Amino acid sequence: MSSEQQTSLQEKQFMHKIKAEEKIEPKDWMPEKYRKNLIRQISQHAHSEVIGMQPEGNFLTRAPSLRRKAILLSKIQDEAGHGLYLYSAAETLGISRDEMIEALQSGRAKYASIFNYPALTWADMGAIGWLVDGAAIVNQVSLQRTSYGPYARGMIRICKEESFHQRQGYDIMLTLVNGSPEQKAMAQDSLNRFYWPALMMFGPHDSESAHSAKSMEWKIKRETNDDLRQKFIDQTASQIEFLGLEHPDKELKWNEERGHYDSGEIDWDEFHNVIAGNGHCNRQRLEHHIKAHEEGAWVREALVAYNAKKQAKQTEAA
């Protein structure tokens, strides 16, 4: 068999597995583009979890009570954990953690643009948990069925924690809307600022998405950007109503025939602008990551030294 024939046979077997809903595992043969596509998506996802800790981390010292502080702290720690699972999942595809971090810090790799918006008030801790983690869940629930085994399994665990994140955010909003008029106004302002960027988290329209078609065929993605966004729009409408807040989308209207809400158009210029690195906090987020990474170098060095010592002892004992 020529190597070309072999590749096409392997490709056939690969597609057969995908169609049969079997998971692709790290040691299985996979097309190079599938591998690259996954590395891009999983590492981007990992970076988002880690960079996403920053806007909330800023509010740890300003939480209004000990209880709120403890909740926010554990939520942020969860996000660090999500980053770790995802970096590990990406490593099974043959890229190192150092390479991924380098790609992030040099600006080659992307992370979710939503984290380039500033968190201005305590109400933003509510809006972020409710809307940003909420949008992430819609996406991640569908990724539990993604075709790459380690990614799918990571998502199952992550989703359990994300639903707690969303509830804690919504709980902050509920408390604020039932508080003073100033607190309710703060909640409204947060909703106004985070609603549209949350919709942007689902990415460009399907017709404009560069990675969509192939990702759907390989079952890396299980639902399209627009379908997922629609789900989020539908579920959020009643949540806004329950809070007694005004909906930021003035064109939002229930469409009986479709069984979904029709909505206004996203400001795509803003979307592309933030992706291009011109968001409020793009530079600040990366600078902070680099600083924290450098300051943590001693921890990594100590770990390596400890492991070397342990190993030396074991070899000696053997």
Nearest approach, Cβ of 208 to Fe ion (angstroms)?
Answer: 26
Q: Which position among 45, 82, 193, 285 is part of the footprint of Fe ion (CB under 5 A)?
A: 82
Q: DSSP letters of 238-270?
A: HHHHHHTPPPS-TT-EEETTTTEEE-PPP-HHH
The neighbouring-strand residues paired with 262 are: 253
Binding mask 33-52 for Fe ion (x = CB under 5 A): ----------------x---
Tell me, by CB under 5 A, how many residues bind Fe ion: 6
Q: Which position among 38, 76, 79, 125 is part of the footprint of Fe ion (CB under 5 A)?
A: 79
Q: Which is nearer to Fe ion, 114 or 200 (by Cβ)? A: 114
Nearest approach, Cβ of 158 to Fe ion (angstroms)?
Answer: 6
Phi, psi of 242 (to 5 degrees): -60, -35
From 75-83, 202-210, 249-257, 302-310, give the range in contact with Fe ion by CB under 5 A. Answer: 75-83
Nearest approach, Cβ of 186 to Fe ion (angstroms)?
Answer: 22
Applying CB under 5 A, does 221 fall inside the site for Fe ion? no
From 17-25, 87-95, 109-117, 125-133, give the range in contact with Fe ion by CB under 5 A. Answer: 125-133
Nearest approach, Cβ of 168 to Fe ion (angstroms)?
Answer: 9
Footprint on residues 225-264 left by Fe ion (CB under 5 A): none
Nearest approach, Cβ of 245 to Fe ion (angstroms)?
Answer: 22
* Cα torsion angle, 188, 190, 196, 201, sign: negative
How many CB atoms lie under 10 A from the CB of residue 219?
18
Footprint on residues 132-191 left by Fe ion (CB under 5 A): 133, 162, 165
Distance of alpha carbon 85 from alpha carbon 64, whole angstroms: 31
Nearest approach, Cβ of 269 to Fe ion (angstroms)?
Answer: 28
User: Which chain residues interact with Fe ion by CB under 5 A?
Assistant: 49, 79, 82, 133, 162, 165
